[in-house]
Amino acid sequence: MLLVKQELLAALANTLESLSPGSGAKAVFESPKVAAHGDLACTAAMQLAKPLARKPRELAEDISAALRATPAFQQWVDAIEIAGPGFLNIRLKTAAKQQVVREVLAAGEAFGRETAKRDGEGERVLVEFVSANPTGPLHVGHGRQAALGDAICNLLATQGAQVWREFYYNDAGVQIQTLATSTQLRAKGFKPGDPQWPEQAYNGEYIADIANDFNAKKTVRSDDREYTASGDVEDIDSIRQFAVAYLRHEQDLDLKAFQVRFDNYYLESSLYTSGRVEATVKKLVEAGKTYEQDGALWLKSTDYGDDKDRVMRKGDGSYTYFVPDVAYHIAKWERGFHKVVNIQGTDHHGTIARVRAGLQAAGEGIPSGYPDYVLHTMVRVMRGGEEVKISKRAGSYVTLRDLIEWTSTDAVRFFLLSRKPDTEYTFDIDLALAQNNDNPVYYVQYAHARICSVLAAWGGDVATLAQADLSPLESPAAQALLLMLAKYPDMLAAAAQDFAPHDVTFYLRELAASYHSYYDAERILVDDEPVKRARLALVAATAQVLHNGLAILGVSAPRKM
């Protein structure tokens, strides 16, 4: 139906252009708010009525008559109805709706994707996500961020973007020093509860694991570093480097189990060693965007919409945490990424205004809305009706690895993407393990497996179904399934624009429901060969779209369950 809509849209554009030069470029179809009103809707008559000094409904009559005279509308449209003050409700012929089956089967995994920019011409986009400090295992909040980041990258790629996945982490500062001292104490034989154990130290059992391997002079490797322990418990620098490398390795294991990859790891320490932080502060001072007060250096962030000015450099000479963030984003801009998406927890909400203020004040020509942010809430974990709050490994929270081991990567990904990022979410372990229709990922995957079972029972070559006569697909259940398939490309485009992978989960559940209804309404492997092939073509196209949508989420599409 993509080609059908394109032909109809071209006819609409030409018609509007003939009525009002320049309006053809604004031609667009909408989805009727009530499905019974039609398949496509157009509000052009109401939009053009005022500039043309016409009554909207009369103008709608003229537009309708002109459209009915075009070859495209004659071929694909059954009726055009005028409603209200001038809405055009368009009802497609059955043959028009059936075309989506051919399009899906012909395009395969590419169905729904923007194909105009496949040759590396799409916008360059950097997506920063996870960015967990290497001070402990990844928790379920990091898992939600990993699922969001990966799915958003996949969505942007469907629209032709060149996507760069980046992991930024703090390998210096107070938290890293605390990690080093905690590991050192463990390496010396002390443990939580001992008089020598500081209140602010990290207490998880993973600290003991790091200390034991440090004493054993082991070598650890992660995606971005390798380090061999000295074994000297007084060598705090060696302990620090080993602990960071150890935990980065642990994070890599979790992320690989979660099937998440990165193109680059960016170290916060490099912003200082490269002089980027100092250079950024110098730019802001020279631009007249700072002032000294109470022994501190302040940024005039209120000039850019912040609720108050912010301290950049404290009286002791150290920088507040948003200053390296500004330097980091200037680096992103200079690397050619003029579209950047940051996926962070809602606790970062307060930093958005000051980071954007610093970027605008730096005089680099960076726009006010740079970067984009997707903020997510934390996740509660329930098991047996009770909240699970701690992990044996981490000691104070549930880890991503725990969640994967208790359920599956597919369940964790689908569940963590099934709500808007900024809404509270409770992960129900028991539901994730249930093999029934209440479990959303099982429900969607079962629809795919059910179709594969039907195709296997048929035993024919699916590729031949692309040439099937689709005219038998006239029943209400078949029509509903056809319309759901046709919605996929527009859903993908909207989800990518809004950074909303939850829209994909909603769509997949609707598509699975539509398929299950169709399966219950019509037997597929009937004796009538043309009818059987038409129905097989429809369900094969449905399986392909289910597969494509699940792939966006990083979830498998099993052939058997």
**By C-alpha distance, which of 9, 181, 173, 148 is closest to 140?**
148
Q: Output the pLDDT for position 389.
A: 85
Per-residue pLDDT of 451-476, as tens digits, reads: 999 999 999 999 999 999 999 999 99
At 82, give phi and psi (nearest 5°). -100, 130
Question: Domains (ranges, CATH) in the chain?
Answer: 2-92 (3.30.1360.70), 139-268+377-433 (3.40.50.620), 437-553 (1.10.730.10)
**Which residues lie closer than 8 Å to 322 by C-beta, 6 or more apart?**
310, 312, 351, 354, 355, 358
Average pLDDT over residues 144-149: 97
Average pLDDT over residues 234-245: 95
Q: Output the pLDDT for position 310.
A: 96
Q: Are 324 and 274 in contact (CB under 8 A)?
A: no
H helices present in 395-525, as ranges:
400-406, 409-416, 429-433, 440-458, 476-497, 502-521
Question: What's the predicted TM-score (pTM) here?
Answer: 0.91
Q: Output the pLDDT for position 110.
A: 95
**Phi/psi class of residue 469: alpha, beta or left (left: φ > 0; alpha: ψ in -120 to 50)?**
beta
**Which residues lie closer than 8 Å to 557 by C-beta, 6 or more apart?**
445, 448, 543, 546, 547, 550, 551
Confidence category of residue 372, pLDDT binned at 50, 70, 90? very high
Average pLDDT over residues 161-176: 90
Q: Are 76 and 93 in contact (CB under 8 A)?
A: yes
Per-residue pLDDT of 246-275, as tens digits, reads: 999 999 999 998 999 999 999 998 999 999
Percent of the chain having pLDDT more than 90? Answer: 88
**244: Cα within 13 Å, side-chain hemisphere:** 24
For residue 371, cis peptide bond before it (omega within 30 degrees of 0):
yes
Pairing of strands 124-128, 339-345: parallel
Confidence category of residue 480, pLDDT binned at 50, 70, 90? very high
Q: Output the pLDDT for position 82.
A: 95
Confidence category of residue 115, pLDDT binned at 50, 70, 90? low
Confidence category of residue 222, pLDDT binned at 50, 70, 90? confident
Q: Output the pLDDT for position 174.
A: 85
Per-residue pLDDT of 392-421, as tens digits, reads: 666 778 899 999 999 999 999 999 999 999
Per-residue pLDDT of 61-78, as tens digits, reads: 999 999 999 999 999 999
Please state, as a whole number, how many other Cβ atoms lie within 10 Å of the Cβ of residue 159.
20
427: pLDDT strictly greater than 70: yes
Q: Choose the weakest-confidence range: 106-115, 231-240, 431-440.
A: 106-115
Distance CA 71, CA 82 (A): 20
**Which residues lie closer than 8 Å to 293 by C-beta, 6 or more apart?**
none
Confidence category of residue 3, pLDDT binned at 50, 70, 90? confident
